[in-house]
Amino acid sequence: MDIGKINVEELQRKLAEANATWEAEETHLSLLTSQEQQNWLGLTPPTNAQSITEIEQKIPSILESIQTETLGAVNLPPVFDLRNINGKNFVTSIKNQKDCGSCVSFGTIATVEASLRMQHNDPNLQVDFSEAHLFFCHGQADGRNCSTGWWPPSAYEALKTKGVVDESCYPYDEGLTKKDCSGLCTDSNNRLTKIKSYTELTGNPAKIKEWLSTKGPVSAAIIVYQDFLSYRKGVYKHVTGNQVGGHCISIVGYDDSQGCWICKNSWNNTWGEQGFFRIAYGECGIDHWCNHGVDAI
């Protein structure tokens, strides 16, 4: 029996029984087989990093400690959302990685794009970097592809040492077709943007909040369970279903009253809350596995 395709009615019953803080619906991911679902993720830690299994084992103690950790974030606003800073939206538009394990490219670039807008204090700054360049050129040079996925620190190193071009120099759909670096525009060397530095924030929710409210978004790694694929709205907490794999996203805000992070995903704007989602502090390893902010670009 395929453990993929999700019975959403059964999931909705379980959410009701659990008094869950979120709602489910049928999505383009819930209809897929388990192998197809994995293709929409793509975060794979190297051997020297914490594995999914190790993070899973730590989650109960993380959830126990999270209350005291987040309360440590004194003198910070109780709610912060990069999509609405005095009515201004510093977050770039939702994108779609499709059925390729390129989430690391999307999660890190989403973080870089909004960080650049924050550094310029300009929510209208036209910025759209090429996930195809980062993944199919730099990721491929790292031995990574749609099937194997990638790891955020490796992507940030590439963004720092090699740089990334704009989307029109290498559009993502073309990258998906070619699956290598051959689609890069001819003047790519003149169109590179590099980040100067990035900072690890893993395991420090108070520091992540401070970073969000002063500098910009923070990339994160999460464990995806089957029920998350059917997420519609609300504050997600894992209720039921098997683990599907690791996924990279960008945290763009938080809300202490709801005890949650506000995040940008890369599964198109038809999924979740117009492509975004909220997830409880500590859930799925979001603030304790692999978190980074971009210092300067």
Q: Above 60 in pLDDT, residue 73? A: no
Strand segments (E) across the chain: 22-24, 79-81, 197-200, 218-225, 231-236, 243-255, 260-264, 276-280, 292-296
Structural domains of the chain sorted by starting position, each given as residue range(s) with its CATH number in brackets: 8-296 (3.90.70.10)
Of residues 87, 106, 108, 111, the one with CA closest to residue 41: 106
Among the residue ranges 70-79, 193-202, 281-290, the one predicted with the least confidence is 70-79
DSSP string across 129-143: B-HHIIIIIIIHHTT
- Annotated catalytic, 265? yes
Predicted confidence band of residue 72 (pLDDT cuts 50, 70, 90): low
Q: What's the chain's average pLDDT?
A: 95
Angle at 239 between CA 228 and CA 284, to 5 degrees: 60
- State the catalytic residue, choosing from 133, 138, 238, 247: 247
Q: Above 80 in pLDDT, residue 48? A: yes
- State the catalytic residue, choosing from 39, 96, 145, 265: 265
191's tokens: 């169109």
- Annotated catalytic, 292? no
- Beta 197-200 vs 292-296: how paired, if at all? antiparallel
DSSP letter at 92? P
Query: Which pLDDT score is estimated for 64?
Result: 86
- State the catalytic residue, choosing from 39, 96, 100, 103: 103
Angle at 214 between CA 213 and CA 220, to 5 degrees: 65
Q: What is the spatial distance between Cα 249 and Cα 283, in angstroms, rounded to a whole number?
A: 14
- Annotated catalytic, 247? yes
Predicted confidence band of residue 1 (pLDDT cuts 50, 70, 90): very low
**Does pTM surpass 0.95?**
yes
Q: Above 50 in pLDDT, residue 14? A: yes
Q: What is the spatial distance between Cα 56 and Cα 222, in angstroms, rounded to a whole number?
A: 10
Query: Which pLDDT score is estimated for 57?
Result: 95
Q: Above 80 in pLDDT, residue 27? A: yes
